[in-house]
Structure 1
Amino acid sequence: MMTMSHSPTKHFRKKGIILSIILLYCYCFGNLKVQEKGTYNDLAKALQNPKDVRILDLRGRELATLPKEIGQLKNLQELDLSYNQLW
């Protein structure tokens, strides 16, 4: 005979809560991009070390034009301009 404290519903609810916490943790911390050497998301900071810049992430900055200063980044390998107003 099963008691209320060990009911299947309570068991599945507990597992569901644990799974939700694990998924939330993975989502939050999995999406944090590790700031690797040579990776910048601020053009002004990137221009302080132009030779070191390999990746420049300017997505979502509402840029309407391409900043000419990007030309100073001679070792740039990856440029993300998505979600801007560039036409």
Structure 2
Amino acid sequence: MKPTITIEYCPKCGWMLRAAYMAQEFLTTFTGYVEAVALKPGAISGVFRIYIDNNLVFDRKSNGGFSEVKELKQLLRDKINPGMSLGHSDKN
């Protein structure tokens, strides 16, 4: 079964558009490898977390801020399909 990516975001912080943009990027990158990308309004102020099947992969607070989409794709790829090339996103 393919995994589901969930992006939990703080609606009060105005991060819905950021979450939607990331969802689009993840759906485009991982077509065929994921079941869905879900957006989940968080109940905690300042929350921005990314899960794969309820397993935390990224937390903005623990990370000290937002990561670039490229880095998030690499994190997700390493969990979903480690051998997958991300093309230009794999280059330094």
With the length of structure 1 as denominator, give the TM-score of the two structures.
Answer: 0.24
Asked which structure has the greater CA Rg, the reply is 1
Structure scoring higher RCO (CA < 8 A, sep ≥ 6) equals 2
Flag the structure with higher helix content: 1
Flag the structure with higher strand content: 2
With the length of structure 2 as denominator, give the TM-score of the two structures.
Answer: 0.23
